[in-house]
A = this chain, B = another copy of it.
Amino acid sequence: MYKAPVEEIAFTLKHVAGMGEAMSNGLFGDLGEDLVDAILSEAGRFATEEVAPLADIGDRQGARLVDGEVRLPDGWRDLYRSWISGGWNGLTAPEAFGGQALPHMLNVAALEMWNSGSMAFALAPTLTMGAIEAVSAHGSAALKDKYLAKMVSGEWTGTMNLTEPHAGSDLGVLKARAERRADGSYRISGQKIFITWGEHDAADNIIHLVLARLPDAPAGTRGISLFLVPKFLVNDDGSLGPRNDLFCHSLEHKLGIHGSPTCTMIYGDGRFGGEKGAIGWLVGEENKGLACMFTMMNNARLAVGMQGVAIAEAATQKALAYARERTQGRAPGWSGPGMSPIIEHPDVARMLLTMKALTQGARAISFACAHAIDMSRRAGDTSRHWQERAALLTPVAKSFSTDAGVEVASLGIQVHGGMGFIEETGAARYLRDARIAPIYEGTNGIQAIDLVTRKLPLSGGDQVRGFIAELKSVADAVRHSNLDGFGETAARLDAGIADLDEATTWLLKMLADDKAPEALAGATPYQRLVGLVLTGCYLAKGALAESGDDGKGEGRIALCRFAAENLLAETTALRDRVINGAASLAAARILLA
């Protein structure tokens, strides 16, 4: 059973991702270590004791559509009530609406634990937080006053309605319609698919954020507007009015996250009588909806990255426990009586250490991204720099972490042997749940396009170059530490960073020369290259931070060395694919015709 790794998370936040320094510099106000620890510890308790025990039943029963109503798995309604009581929904929300305005780093750390408990359950608050953010940033004062407090408390949940059957990655072609009404509101109609927690029975109201097109809107992405469309209309006194003209038509039958209702939503069908068209209110300006949506999508991408970290952590814990207990064969060097625990076999040890290194690397990258987001809001003069840093790290945090989630979950099954294939063991669910994360909130391929074409050119390339320079200083610090335990780590980091440097320079040149196909052909290998080098460097940073304490840092140094001497060997191949892979890819297109 999953146990939230509160200490490891706190360590990574403070000593790897930058929270400690930010606190020392007073950037987080009077937030002290004690409060941070207390919040993490309580969030971890909630994940371990309340969420995780209901994950399996959620997977087995799934969400069900009964007579047009979505029933959550047994116990999940109460779990959600308990979630609200805990006040978890408003960790980073504005204080004016009942939130706690805490750093995003804390929220992201807590999200990891909740997602480890049950990714399907944690999706509800994740979507609500995104909606809160969009309304906070772009909604009118009236909308904020009417909706935000109950969304922050969690009494009402939120959704994002983007996708239509023909419009997934390319939202420019979406067809949902919005018509102006005399009173300043709008009538929305159309079909949306893949709407996470689009309908359920745990909250009193559901606030849908819906992308739609006005009759006179320009074609493409410049003609999309964002609307707030509640399930139940809300009276001026805050009480619930009549049902709005929208409903859940069907639920998807998915590979994983069964407890999370994935809805096809129909707007403006007239099923509840009265004039057709769901009533909605504009968020932001007309035809500027995509920009508003992107506000929340960036943080949503990081939140999806946390799902990858979360599954990787939970899968690693499960595999470790099994490998310590299960005995089979006699490992080389095993001197005990009878069979050895399988963890003693070198191949099993390799799998488990790979799982650990990827999990901790993905966690550090994601926390560093959250740190940059926090800094961009609080660091005054340097906020532009931190905004860019957050922008640069977001696609890496999303893609590297979610790929790691899938890879680690799959290794977790392998460690379990035949038992891993049996659903009751629970290892298979992690793979099933994890598999969606590289796809939604922008596929990892789209993250790579974003990274290469929009993020590398930030500040004319200086943002990424500055970041690489920081990484070099980590490698230098490892070298100057003179700690034997690091083995070849410094040299391996140097080599990985040099690969990254070279690939980056090449990509910037391709972009400058207007050679998009060449740059895009290597975008995915480049994205992984960044993630692997960051994994090595962040593990080193953590190892250095703890190396002072007598022996306490030994494990961190050893894991860092394992990552450097085993996983980072891949960077050369990745650099090579970036720089030399495009021509053969282009030539082989004849096979795809």
Contact = CB atoms under 8 A, between A and B. Distances in A.
Given A350-B524, A565-B581, A420 B439 contact: yes
Contacts of A424: 253
B562 A588 contact: yes
Interface string A241-269: 00000000000111110000000000000
Nearest to A341: B592
Contact of A435 (B347, B410, B438, B439): B410
Interface stretch (A17-25, A230-238, A280-288, A328-336): A328-336
| A332, A421, A440, A573 interface centre (most CB from chain B within 10 Å) | A421
A587 interface: yes
B440 A168 contact: no
Interface in A530-578: 554-555, 558-559, 561-562, 564-566, 569-570, 572-574, 576-577
Contacts of A581: 350, 565-566, 569
Contact of A255 (B320, B324, B421): B421
Interface in A288-343: 320, 323-324, 328-329, 332-333, 339, 343
Contact of A421 (B254, B524, B570): B254
A584 interface: yes
A555 B591 contact: yes
A332 B520 contact: yes
B414 A439 contact: yes
A523 interface: yes
B421 A436 contact: yes
A36 to B, nearest CB: 25
Contacts of A194: 418
A554 B566 CA distance: 37
Nearest to A445: B347
A356 B414 contact: no
Contacts of A573: 569-570, 572-573
B333 A554 contact: no
Contacts of A193: 418
Nearest to A587: B558
B591 A566 contact: no
B414 A444 contact: yes
A339 B566 contact: no
A41 interface: no
Contacts of A521: 346-347, 350
A79 interface: no
A590 B552 CA distance: 12
A163 B584 contact: no
A445 B348 contact: yes
Interface of chain A: mostly helix, strand, loop or mixed: helix
A565 B431 CA distance: 31
Contacts of A349: 585, 588-589, 592
Contact of A350 (B564, B576, B585): B585
A290 B498 CA distance: 52
Interface string A421-460: 1111000100110011011100111001100000000000
B487 A587 contact: yes
A38 interface: no
A352 B521 CA distance: 13
A387 interface: no
B406 A435 contact: no
A417 B165 CA distance: 12
Given A169-B328, A517-B332, A353 B421 contact: no
Contacts of A435: 410, 413, 421, 428, 431
B410 A406 contact: yes
A401 to B, nearest CB: 15
Contacts of A423: 253-255
A180 interface: no
A345 interface: yes
B591 A559 contact: yes
Contacts of A5: none
Contact of A569 (B352, B445, B577): B577
A190 interface: no
Contacts of A570: 570, 573
A583 interface: yes
Contact of A585 (B173, B353, B520): B353
A588 to B, nearest CB: 4
Given A254-B421, A343-B592, A559-B591, 8 more contacts: A168-B418, A169-B329, A170-B329, A410-B435, A414-B443, A418-B440, A558-B591, A565-B581
5 contacts: A170-B339, A343-B592, A347-B449, A410-B410, A565-B581
